[in-house]
């Protein structure tokens, strides 16, 4: 089992290495000269030359990659081309704000969708199931910006409970940001929950049809006990995987939702750095997202292994 | 071993597991699954509207009219007008052209590339499978919205750039699904037989593997299409997709969101159009996968 874990960790590191190369190539090897790309067509030759110097564009690509990776491993992502500040600190600031949204989103999405998914599975083909399934179908069929817009219409304009836009910058304290976190998180959770609900429903239906649930029922266990002891754990397993798979999506969703609410998070930074062609920031965000994605997938795999003895033994024989 | 002594069996090249006629089966499925029917009708209506938009409404979706700006729904403008006085209904009806055109092209390219790569990986296996798997994982680990934004800023917002960019970020997921389906077919005897006959990879892929996973590919197409429509609309919403005067649903929501208290229909109409199209695609995917017994959850894992 240890060797299985080691192999998974090694594979994750390999994936990360590959994605760092991809990120670097995608950003640096864009068609045309990077310096001209950054400065625009009508930049003076002097400015272009200065930027080429600053970005060390005269070195071969692999040397620049090695430089960048070496720095990144120590948390040094270079300097932002726009603000001139250290990219690591700037990205970290925005990332922290986004983590607040992500945390609330995952909490909302997981608890809400497990509850609804189990309910739908228990009342299979009856009205609660139809209702929940229809709502989740609609939830996965509308983009985040639509959910966000509708939420603003309902809870900021019709019922002014939450702010429609955030007026604070990235240095805002948690207390200042907290009122603004709920609507973006809810918008993301609605879209994310739709997938988890379907997953949880299917696995609950499978479990409830299994022989050990019949045995448990024959033993006289209450429905509540059957659900908490059997349905819930089995619904958790596939859910873990969906969440992990959705992390990369979550980063994209956050980009959209944060721009709707003007929330000073990583998504807003992502969009503005793409608009300003702030290459070091783009690279840092892409790399950090890749690390988060790979780490979540690794955690989900190991978690699934811990919960499912079958996977453990398969890991040993492989 | 007794099979070796028996007279030569009929050549298995005619893909033994394939149904008698794909169209006949598709028709049966359509009639048997209400979900799929409803979904496909939704999509068909959207395609028809997009194609017939010029005949359905006489307003020009691009014509500004400052005197008529920000009007509510009326007999003249059924869904009102936006801040430039453009007819909202006309823009919604024409909006499908961009969304459907780009989405269909992007989905076709994605599914075609993904299917070929997925089958090839399943057939070859070994180091090829490992290496490609790692590379695809690496692509998946970068948020698709960020990758799209970077590609689009570098290459411009032309429709073909968006098609290409979408293909780059979504091919890995199709490869995963198709690979999973193809792996179930590859050990079959008729594939071994085809290999023994000395057929090339491409020929095995086309004649033995593809006919047996075509249902998975079709469901994946519908699923992927819904995802692509959402992605493209998000891109337009962020200002990186359709260029401003173009009637596009995502762009319309972005333009009219600030005036949502004055003319809610200008934001709601494109939202409804977008949602019904994606609901249709999702229903079609669900219905087809249920009718054909394709387990999306297992394939996706």
Residue B254 with chain A: CB contacts under 8 Å? 145
How is chain A split among helix, strand and coil, in percent rounded to 5? Answer: 80, 0, 20
Judged by a CB distance cut-off of 8 A, whether residue B283 touches chain A is yes
Give the whole-number percent of chain B exceeding pLDDT 70: 85
Measure in Å the smallest separation between the Cα of A251 and chain B Cα atoms: 6
Q: Of A24, A41, A73, which residue constitutes the final position of a domain?
A: A73
Between A28 and A212, the more confident residue is A212
Segment among A65-69, A88-92, B63-67 with least mean pLDDT? B63-67
Same domain, A96 and A211: yes
Note the residue count of chain B.
301
A272 domain residue, yes or no: yes
- Compute the distance between CA of residue A294 and CA of residue A22 in angstroms, rounded to an integer: 15
B147 domain residue, yes or no: yes
A317 domain residue, yes or no: no
Same domain, A60 and A99: no
Same domain, A118 and A258: yes
Same domain, A62 and A111: no
A291 domain residue, yes or no: yes
Same domain, A62 and A210: no
Segment among A270-284, B72-86, B207-221 with least mean pLDDT? B72-86
Predicted confidence at residue A38, as pLDDT, reads 66
Judged by a CB distance cut-off of 8 A, whether residue B144 touches chain A is yes
Q: What is the dihedral of CA B152, B153, B158, B163, to 10 degrees?
A: -10
| Residue pointed to by tokens 């995952």 | A106
B287 domain residue, yes or no: yes
Predicted confidence at residue A32, as pLDDT, reads 56
Helix (H) or strand (E) holding B223: helix B210-237
Same domain, A122 and A247: yes
Label residue A202 by pLDDT band (50, 70, 90).
Answer: confident
For chain A, the distance separating the N- and C-terminal CA atoms, rounded to the nearest angstrom, is: 10
Mean pLDDT computed over A269-280? 83
Cβ-contact B46, B280 below 8 angstroms? yes
Q: Of A16, A50, A73, which residue constitutes the final position of a domain?
A: A73
Predicted confidence at residue A142, as pLDDT, reads 85
Same domain, A206 and A303: yes
Segment among B11-15, B90-94, B209-213 with least mean pLDDT? B11-15
For the record, the structure tokens of A41 come out as 């067509």
- Work out the number of other CB atoms within 10 angstroms of the CB of residue B24: 10
Predicted confidence at residue B255, as pLDDT, reads 84
Predicted confidence at residue B104, as pLDDT, reads 92
Each residue's pLDDT tens digit, B147-183: 888 888 777 778 888 899 899 888 988 998 888 888 8
**Residue A39 pLDDT > 50:** yes
| Overall domain count for chain A | 2
- Compute the distance between CA of residue B122 and CA of residue B278 in angstroms, rounded to an integer: 31
- Compute the distance between CA of residue B123 and CA of residue B129 in angstroms, rounded to an integer: 9
Same domain, A113 and A262: yes
Same domain, A169 and A277: yes
B1 domain residue, yes or no: no
Mean pLDDT computed over B230-253? 85
Residue A282 with chain B: CB contacts under 8 Å? 146, 150
A21 domain residue, yes or no: yes
Sign for the CA dihedral angle at A142, A145, A146, A151 comes to positive
Residue A19 with chain B: CB contacts under 8 Å? 137-139, 141-142
Same domain, A152 and A58: no
For the record, the structure tokens of A316 come out as 């040993």
| Overall domain count for chain B | 1
Between B141 and B16, the more confident residue is B141
> Structural domain of residue A26, as residue ranges?
2-73
**Residue A195 pLDDT > 70:** yes
Per DSSP, the three-state class of A86 is: strand
Mean pLDDT computed over A145-162? 83
> Structural domain of residue B284, as residue ranges?
32-58+78-116+142-179+212-293
- Compute the distance between CA of residue B56 and CA of residue B94 in angstroms, rounded to an integer: 10
Between A53 and B225, the more confident residue is B225
Predicted confidence at residue A80, as pLDDT, reads 76
**Residue A198 pLDDT > 50:** yes
Which candidate from A238, A248, A286 shows the least CB-CB separation from B140?
Answer: A248
Per DSSP, the three-state class of B69 is: coil
Same domain, A212 and A262: yes
B204 domain residue, yes or no: no
Residue A289 with chain B: CB contacts under 8 Å? 141-143, 146
- Closest residue in B to A267 (Cα–Cα): B146
The size of the A-B interface in CB pairs under 8 A is 143
User: In CATH, what number is assigned to the domain containing residue A147?
Assistant: 1.10.3720.10
**Residue B5 pLDDT > 50:** no
Between A126 and A35, the more confident residue is A126
A165-174, A239-248, B103-112: range with highest mean pLDDT: B103-112
Segment among A129-138, A272-281, B114-123, B170-179 with least mean pLDDT? A272-281
């Amino acid at each position: 089992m240890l060797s299985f874990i080691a192999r998974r960790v090694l594979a994750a590191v390999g994936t990360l290495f590959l994605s760092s190369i991809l990120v670097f190539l995608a950003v640096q090897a864009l068609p045309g000269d990077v310096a001209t790309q950054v400065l625009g067509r009508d930049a003076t030759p002097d400015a272009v030359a200065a930027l080429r110097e600053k970005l060390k564009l005269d070195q071969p690509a692999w040397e620049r990659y090695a430089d960048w990776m070496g720095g990144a491993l120590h948390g040094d992502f270079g300097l932002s081309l726009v603000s001139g500040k250290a990219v690591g600190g700037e990205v970290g600031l925005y990332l922290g704000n986004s983590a607040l949204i992500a945390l609330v989103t995952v909490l909302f999405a997981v608890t809400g969708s497990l509850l609804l998914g189990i309910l739908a599975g228990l009342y299979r083909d009856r009205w609660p199931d139809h209702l929940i399934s229809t709502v989740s179908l609609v939830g996965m069929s509308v983009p985040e910006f639509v959910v966000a817009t509708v939420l603003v219409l309902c809870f900021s304009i019709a019922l002014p409970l939450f702010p429609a836009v955030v007026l604070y910058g990235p240095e805002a304290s948690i207390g200042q940001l907290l009122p603004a976190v709920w609507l973006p998180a809810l918008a993301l959770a609605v879209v994310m929950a739709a997938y988890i609900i379907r997953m949880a429903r299917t696995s609950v239906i499978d479990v409830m049809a299994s022989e050990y649930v019949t045995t448990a029922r024959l033993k006289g266990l209450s429905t509540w006990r059957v659900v908490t002891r059997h349905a819930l754990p089995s619904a958790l397993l596939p859910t873990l995987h969906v969440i992990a798979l959705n992390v990369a999506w979550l980063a994209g969703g956050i980009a959209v939702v944060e721009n709707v609410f003007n929330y000073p998070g990583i998504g807003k930074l992502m969009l503005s750095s793409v608009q300003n062609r702030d290459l070091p920031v783009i690279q840092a965000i892409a790399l950090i997202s890749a690390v988060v994605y790979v780490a979540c997938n690794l955690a989900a795999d190991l978690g699934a292994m811990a919960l499912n003895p079958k996977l453990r033994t398969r890991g040993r024989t492989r | 071993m007794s099979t070796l002594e028996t007279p030569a069996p009929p050549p298995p090249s005619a893909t033994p597991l394939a149904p008698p006629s794909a169209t006949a089966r598709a028709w049966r499925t359509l009639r048997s699954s209400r979900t799929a029917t409803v979904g496909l009708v939704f999509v068909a209506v959207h395609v028809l509207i997009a194609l017939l938009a010029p005949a359905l409404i006489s307003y020009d979706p691009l014509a500004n009219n400052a005197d008529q700006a920000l009007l509510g729904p009326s007999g003249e403008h059924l869904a009102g007008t936006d801040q430039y006085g453009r007819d909202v209904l006309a823009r919604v009806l024409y909006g499908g052209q961009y969304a459907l055109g780009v989405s269909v092209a992007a989905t076709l390219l994605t599914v075609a590339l993904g299917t070929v790569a997925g089958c090839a990986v399943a057939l070859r296996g070994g180091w090829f499978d490992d290496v490609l798997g790692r590379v695809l994982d690496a692509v998946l680990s970068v948020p698709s919205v960020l990758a799209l934004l970077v590609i689009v800023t570098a290459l411009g917002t032309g429709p073909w750039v968006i098609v290409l960019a979408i293909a780059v970020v979504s091919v890995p997921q199709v490869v995963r699904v198709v690979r999973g389906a193809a792996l179930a077919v590859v050990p079959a005897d008729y594939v071994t037989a085809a290999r023994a006959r000395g057929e090339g990879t491409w020929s095995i892929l086309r004649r033995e593997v593809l006919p047996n996973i075509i249902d998975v590919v079709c469901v994946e197409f519908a699923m992927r299409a819904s995802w692509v429509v959402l992605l493209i609309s998000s891109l337009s919403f962020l200002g990186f997709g359709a260029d401003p005067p173009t009637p596009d649903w995502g762009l319309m929501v972005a333009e009219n969101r600030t005036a949502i208290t004055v003319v809610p229909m200008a934001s709601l109409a494109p939202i409804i159009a977008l949602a019904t199209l994606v609901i249709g695609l999702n229903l079609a995917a669900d219905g087809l996968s249920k009718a054909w017994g394709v387990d999306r959850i297992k394939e996706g894992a």
